[in-house]
Amino acid sequence: MVKVENVHKYFGPLHVLKGVHLEVEPQEVVVLLGASGSGKSTLLRCLNFLEIADEGKIWLDGQFIDPVKTDLNRVRTDIGMVFQHFNLFPHMSVLENVIEAPVHVKKVPREEARENALSLLRKVGLEDKKDVYPDALSGGQKQRVAIARSLAMNPRVMLFDEPTSALDPELVGEVLQVMKELVEDSMTMVVVTHEIGFAREVADRVVFMDDGQIVEEAEPEQFFAQPQHPKAQQFLSRVL
Ligand code: ADP
Ligand code: MG
């Protein structure tokens, strides 16, 4: 579903991704771990072309994405992304937030987008909040709306960048629950998270980054029991 080959990214003199290789199979759930500053967010942003890699190649669903020749806005609609901060439109109701991109970017007829949005809001348990504004929601509810909004574009892959890091602890579970339901629906997902319990339970594979490179990949059971790379050992001794 996703293939990344030798991706490099620089910010000025700073070499942030140093030759990343990654493949994600259809329906696979990959949890991406690594210390702060190791390049996790930059890698996700390269995967949905919010950042353009300076070197290397990316394929989506078997198709090579040439950032110069491809309509990246079109590509981005296939890749849902959920951030730590929810980035909902504050001046729009929950329902309007969810139908905005399908209607304006994908040109889905409004009534069809509305029906789909209502079913997604039901899925994340927020159908009764469809007419309220984001300000009236808790952080967990906002994040569930953000997930519904991403799903409204019918993406092939969902990327999550620390989706629960900004939440009060008692609100983390409801967001992880929605993500687990996506896993059950066979969504292909790449998730940056510090929720080790979630990683253990749902990841097919854990990928550990250090200093702009993937230095270890393993099944969660293996990774958490016996991390091989010294930096992975160090990381786990801090978070476990
Ligand atoms: P992580 O998500 O693993 O914490 P990031 O991908 O956010 O790491 O950042 C990796 C490195 O790149 C950090 O040193 C960070 O300061 C730097 N960086 C990230 N985005 C930018 C940017 N837009 N401009 C300059 N430096 C950046
Ligand atoms: Mg980050």
Q: What is the pLDDT of residue 239?
A: 86
Rounded to whole angstroms, how far apart are CA atoms 196 and 173? 13
Instruction: Please enumerate in sequence order all residues whose Cβ is within 8 A of that of 110, keeping only pairs 6 or more positions apart, or say none.
Output: 99, 103
Is 40 a pocket residue for ligand 1 (Cβ < 6 Å)? Answer: yes
- The stretch 162-171 carries a mean pLDDT of 96
Closest CA to ligand 1's atom 27: 11
Q: Which two tokens stand for residue 98?
A: 């969810």
30 pairs with which residues across the strands?
190, 205
Share of the chain above pLDDT 90, in %: 98
Atom from ligand 1 closest to the CA of residue 12: 25
Residue 161 Cα to ligand 1 midpoint, Å, equals 13
Ligand 1 pocket residue status of 11, Cβ below 6 Å: yes
The atom number, within ligand 1, closest to the CA of 35 reads 3
177-186: long-range pairs with CB below 8 Å, 24+: 178/123, 178/124, 178/125, 178/144, 178/147, 179/147, 181/123, 182/147, 182/151, 182/158, 183/29, 186/27
* Residue identifier of the C-alpha nearest atom 15 of ligand 1: 37
Mean pLDDT of the chain: 96
Residue 12 DSSP code: T
What was the pLDDT predicted at 34?
Answer: 97
129-139 pLDDT tens trace: 999 999 999 99
Q: Which atom of ligand 1 is nearest to the CA of 43?
A: 6
Amino acid at 237: S
- Average pLDDT for 155-175: 97
Contact in structure between 158 and 189 (CB atoms under 8 Å): yes
pLDDT digits (tens, 9 = 90+) for 82-103: 999 988 999 999 999 999 999 9
